[in-house]
Every structure is written in C-alpha cells, then in structure tokens.
Amino acid sequence: MIAILITVILGIPLGNAFSVSQPYIVVGNQGQASLYCAYNIRTHPKEIQLSLYKGMYGEEMICTARVNLSDPYIVTDGRVHCRGNVSKGRVDLTIFGLKGEDTDLYRCKVEIIFPPPYLMKYGNGTLVHIPENPECPREHTQAIVGDSPDITKDIQRTSLPLILICAVLITTTFTLILQVMNMILTWPKSNHVPQKSDYKNFW
C-alpha cells in the first residue's frame, strides 16, 4: 500500500510534466513519409515503447516497438512499416509502403517503461498527405516499347527525303546568289558623263 502511494505521489508531478508533440503536417514522397515524435519528461528514460496509430481516434496501429536507449533503432515489417531512431527526447520515424488512400492523421503513443513510474501520452497528431501516383497501363507501355524500332525506321524513312530536299534548295539558292553577285560585278560600266544638252529633251 505504501509503495502504491509513493508511486502515485511521484507519478503525478512527472505525469503533468510529460508531453508528446508532433509536426502538424508532412507530405510524403514515393510512398514514404517522415515525421517525429518529441517527448518532454523530467527524467531520463532508458526504455520506451513507441506506437504509431492511424486515424483520429487511433483506429489502426501502423507500427509499434519497444526500444532500449542503448540500442535506439526501430525496424518493423508489414505492408506499411516503420524505421526510426530514438534520441534524447525525440523519435524520428519514416513510414514506408504508403499509398494515396493512406492519407490520414497519424498519432504517436509514447510509453515510459523504465525507470518507473510507468507513464503514457499520445501526441497531438500529424496529418500525413500521400500524393497519388498515376500508374501507366502495362499493355500500352509494352506496345510503345515493342514498336519503337519500327517507329525509328519510319522516322528515318520520312526524314531522309526531307534532308535531301533541303540540301538541294540550299545548294540552288547559294548558286543563284553567286550568279547574281557575278553579274553585278561584271556589269559593263559606261564612262559617259551626262551633259546639259542631254537634259534638253526634258524641258
């Protein structure tokens, strides 16, 4: 009875000082999202239990791990799984295997296992947004890949006459320019200087 009273008396001030906070929103990328669960406590816990829940009221547990701070790594398995690292007052988590339908509120639950007294708090929650990645139909992709050599041949067949036509046009234009320049340079120049008598017909 005395031990219970001591635990309760010691636990009340510690419990009031214990809090868990999370970022308000994170945006995932390629099926994964990273968030943190920061916990504030006056003692220095050596063993904690971390759980991550999906939903406003924690309807679905995503991952859970009991971590000794001497080996502060978290690895879980499943379709949606977590990897993380526990440091002083903070757990950094990365969630893998997420899809667009997994966009939801994710809440951390941190439990202080050792040393006593046992304490537990939920975080305020993080809205994890997972953008949808549209998937291309495989048949269409295979058709394009399968037909690519023929498409390349068709492009080569079409571009060859165009290249020849352009070459002929450029050559013809260049030849015409040279001929015109040659005519201007070889044009016979007259040494006749106009006299006043030449303008009489105009008056």
Q: Write out pLDDT tens, residues 144-161.
A: 445 455 555 555 565 666
Cα of first residue to Cα of last residue in the chain, in angstroms, is 140
Q: Is the pLDDT of residue 67 over 70?
A: yes
Q: Are strands 119-122 and 104-114 parallel, antiparallel or unpaired?
A: antiparallel
Bridge-partner residues for 81, per DSSP?
96
Q: How confident is the model at residue 171 (pLDDT cuts 50, 70, 90)?
A: confident
Closest alpha carbon to 68 in 110, 113, 122, 109: 113
- Check residue 103 and report its DSSP letter: -
Considering the chain, what is the average pLDDT of its residues?
78
The pLDDT assigned to 170 comes to 82
* 3-class SS shares of the chain: helix, strand, coil, % to 5: 35, 35, 30
pLDDT at 166 over 80: no
Name, in order, each residue with C-beta under 8 angstroms of 170's C-beta and a sequence gap of 6 or more: none
Q: Which CATH number fits domain 16-129: 3.40.50.300, 3.30.70.890, 2.40.110.10, 2.60.40.10?
A: 2.60.40.10
Closest CA to 47 of 122, 123, 111: 111
pLDDT at residue 51, as a whole number:
95
Burial class (CB in 10 A: 0-12, 13-18, 19+), 185: exposed
**pLDDT given at position 120:** 95
pTM: 0.58
